[in-house]
């Protein structure tokens, strides 16, 4: 029997690698002879660097970068096994988790550090840069990132504007004469699991800014600023990024990458599928076990478990979703390639206890799933 283990992380509890290791341990308890292939997943958010580096035999580089509040923070990026492709999690420099809850305000946070990570990739002679767009603390349209790359933004008085979402409405002029010339030789991929536009009721400010500390008045202020920013980009660069799918990802960083770096927007799972060779790995598999910390109706909106389930269904592979919890509306995943869903929680307990015992419960549930799969499969003892 051949089982593919490809989970996302259990946020706040276990990394995707740790989840995969726990599930493998359960499988091996049921039958140590079963062939297990582990593929830690990510969709552009947390864990993307680790997942792609592990899959390709690459390396992770530790660097210092400007954090979302303008102070220097410890950060990182990966270089894949080919030595020429860099992978960056924007959250590693501009993520919400880097901002204490009482200081979260997208008027002040910046993506400048993302640009610094991109420059570090260029310094390492990379000719392709993948930027994962999940987990942002920002709503600056990628202006900070562009500033780090050499783009200059000026107000009506000819003064260079500051960083952060509060300055988007001040921009009247954009100058590209100092932009890093190496960008012309580099392919930039923006990896995201959302396709929100930059503007409007489904855009960056209205949908995501409240999660980053914005109240109703701040959301309206940011939206007006983003409207101005998009208009100046259209006027200066001839690019209308206001309604492009994914332009609203990571507080508009998607738009900034497309406008200033000619980035191509791709679903995170599509990037993972290609780099991790999912089609090849799933060929002739008997079972795929995927999962995430919490599965609910939101999982159907392109999250990692459904992305790999789609690939598995194309290969006629059975798919089990093993998650930390199954919440209201999770049943919709049965319409998207998942054959069965299980929660690892096996008794009433507090959230704190569930998180503390995640690994142990995953081992137990994975063993039970494997025993059932063996019973149903003629190849169970092979």
pLDDT per residue as tens digits for the range 6-65: 998 888 789 889 999 999 999 999 999 999 999 988 767 778 898 899 889 999 999 999
Provide the pLDDT for residue 302.
65
Residue written as tokens 């919440």? 327
The residues spanned by each domain of the chain are 2-39+277-376, 48-269
121-146 pLDDT per residue, tens: 999 999 999 999 988 999 999 999 99
Max intra-chain CA distance, the chain: 76
Most confident of 38-52, 209-223, 257-271: 209-223
| pLDDT class of 177 with cuts at 50, 70, 90 | very high
Question: Hey, what CATH topology would domain 48-269 get?
Answer: Glycerate kinase, domain 2 (3.90.1510)
Give the whole-angstrom CA distance, residue 343 versus residue 321: 8
- The architecture in CATH of the region 2-39+277-376 reads 3-Layer(aba) Sandwich (3.40)
Classify residue 142 as left (phi > 0), alpha (psi -120 to 50) or beta: left
Sign of the CA dihedral running 48, 351, 329, 344: positive
Beta carbons of 115 and 151 less than 8 angstroms apart: no
First to last CA, the chain: 6
Tell the burial category of 72 from Cβ atoms under 10 Å away from its Cβ (0-12, 13-18, 19+): exposed
For residue 96, the model assigns a pLDDT of 95
CA angle 12, 49, 203 (to 5 degrees): 75
Backbone angles phi, psi at 229, to 5 degrees: -60, -45
């Amino acid at each position: 029997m051949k089982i593919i283990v490809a989970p996302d992380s259990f946020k706040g509890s276990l990394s995707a690698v740790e989840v995969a290791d726990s599930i493998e341990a359960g499988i091996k308890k049921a039958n140590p002879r079963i062939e297990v292939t582990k593929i830690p997943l990510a969709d552009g958010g947390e864990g993307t660097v680790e997942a792609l580096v592990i899959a390709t035999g690459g390396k992770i580089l530790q660097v210092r970068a400007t954090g979302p509040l303008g102070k220097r923070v410890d950060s990182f990026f990966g270089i894949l096994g080919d030595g020429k492709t860099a992978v960056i999690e924007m959250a590693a420099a501009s993520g919400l988790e880097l901002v204490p809850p009482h200081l979260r305000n997208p008027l002040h946070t910046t993506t400048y550090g993302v640009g610094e990570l991109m420059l570090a990739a260029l310094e390492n002679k990379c000719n392709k840069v993948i930027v994962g767009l999940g987990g942002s603390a920002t709503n600056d349209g990628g202006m900070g990132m562009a500033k780090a790359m050499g783009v200059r933004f000026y107000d009506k008085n000819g003064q260079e504007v500051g960083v952060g979402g509060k300055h988007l409405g001040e921009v009247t002029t954009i100058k590209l004469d100092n932009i890093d010339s190496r960008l012309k030789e580099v392919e930039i991929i923006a990896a995201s699991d959302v396709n929100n536009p930059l503007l409007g009721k489904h855009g960056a400010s209205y949908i995501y800014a409240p999660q980053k500390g914005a109240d109703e008045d701040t959301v309206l202020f940011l939206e007006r600023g983003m409207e101005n920013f998009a208009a100046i980009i259209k006027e200066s660069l001839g690019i209308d990024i206001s309604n492009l799918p994914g332009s609203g990802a990571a507080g508009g960083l998607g738009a900034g990458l497309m406008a200033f770096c000619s980035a191509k927007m791709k679903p995170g799972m599509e990037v993972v599928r290609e780099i991790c060779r999912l089609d090849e790995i799933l060929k002739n598999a008997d079972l795929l076990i995927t999962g995430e910390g919490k599965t609910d109706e939101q999982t159907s909106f392109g999250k990692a478990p459904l992305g790999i389930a789609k690939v598995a269904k194309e290969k006629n592979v059975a798919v089990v979703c093993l998650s930390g919890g199954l919440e209201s509306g999770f049943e919709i995943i049965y319409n998207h390639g998942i054959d069965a869903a299980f929660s690892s929680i096996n008794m009433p307990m507090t959230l704190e206890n569930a998180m503390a015992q995640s690994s142990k419960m995953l081992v137990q549930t994975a063993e039970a799933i494997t025993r059932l799969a063996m019973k149903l499969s003629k190849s169970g003892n092979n």
